[in-house]
Amino acid sequence: MTALRYDVNLSILFTELPLLQRPAAAAACGFDAVEMWWPFDGPVPADSELDALAGALDDAGVSLVGLNFDAGHMPSGDRGLLSSRSTSRRFRDNIDVTVGFAERMGCRVLNALYGNTSDDTEHDLALENLALAVTAARPIGATVVIEALNSHENTRYPLTSSKAALEVVDQVPGTAFLADFYHLARMGEDLPALIASSAGRFGHVQIADVPGRGQPGTGELDYAELLTLLAASPYDGPVGLEYKPVGPSADSFGWLEDMP
């Protein structure tokens, strides 16, 4: 069994601070790796915005291990751009920017949220856009991952189980499954069984406790067991902390002392 490596999602942790101050805050808490959702307002930010974020990451000495493609305006309920005719162009405009920034920062996991069901949803279009993302990501050695979300909070998102997400992965070579234990547990999945059957297909893992999405130890999941199983599995990537901290972010990491 190997020790797991943990990273902090700066889009949900350290939000007490402006984005460009969060990498240093994560480093001050002992982390050397971070991930984030698409952090810009549109698909093609100005070079100065990209430079500022790269500088903040470099100055803090943290590596970027996961990055979302543009997923729309998530505070308003958007959950991706892949599957809709009305948003497909925005996704395609974002591909080269995301891959270019990932190459610059050494990031090798790129998350493409599928998109909410709408009047113009087309599954074949989603697969086509995923294939375009894979083609762009392959030369830098990056993997495009597909995520299932829970339907309690994401009522129009169609991929709500590991089975549904893995079916998409099966249709697009070069993709992998983003196993978000919080979303999967909210949908009643047997996480130990999933780790046993499918950890070799995980492209990334994210965690939070259930039902409140707080840090492990604030809810129902036995993370000591789950992470021990994960550490003994074929999965060898980082574990993203993607939770809403109960209290200040910097005070929310004590549970890690008892984890593999």
Q: What is the DSSP letter of 69?
A: P
Cα distance between residue 111 and residue 204, in whole Å: 9
CATH number of the structural domain spanning residue 141: 3.20.20.150
Closest CA to 217 of 186, 179, 254: 254
* Bridge partners for 7 per DSSP: 240
pLDDT number for residue 211: 97
Q: Total structural domains in the chain?
A: 1
Confidence of residue 125 (pLDDT cuts 50, 70, 90): very high
Mean pLDDT of 24-47: 98
Q: Is 219 inside a domain boundary?
A: yes
Confidence of residue 165 (pLDDT cuts 50, 70, 90): very high
Mean pLDDT of 234-252: 97
Q: Is 1 inside a domain boundary?
A: no
Task: Assess whether 147 carries a catalytic annotation.
Answer: yes
Cα distance between residue 156 and residue 149, in whole Å: 10
The parent domain of residue 197 ranges over 6-258
**pLDDT at residue 145 greater than cutoff 80:** yes
Q: Is 48 inside a domain boundary?
A: yes
- From 49, 167, 225, 242, active-site residue: 242
Q: Full-prediction pTM beyond 0.75?
A: yes
Confidence of residue 1 (pLDDT cuts 50, 70, 90): low
Task: Assess whether 16 carries a catalytic annotation.
Answer: no
Closest CA to 250 of 73, 31, 71, 51: 31
**pLDDT at residue 184 greater than cutoff 90:** yes
Q: By the 8 A CB rule, do 202 and 213 touch?
A: no
pLDDT number for residue 162: 98
Confidence of residue 199 (pLDDT cuts 50, 70, 90): very high
Mean pLDDT of the chain: 97
Confidence of residue 156 (pLDDT cuts 50, 70, 90): very high
pLDDT number for residue 191: 98
Who wins on pLDDT, 91 or 258?
A: 91
Mean pLDDT of 41-49: 97
Mean pLDDT of 10-36: 98
pLDDT number for residue 9: 98
**pLDDT at residue 2 greater than cutoff 90:** no
**pLDDT at residue 22 greater than cutoff 80:** yes
What amino acid is encoded at 183 in this protein? Answer: H
- From 147, 167, 189, 257, active-site residue: 147
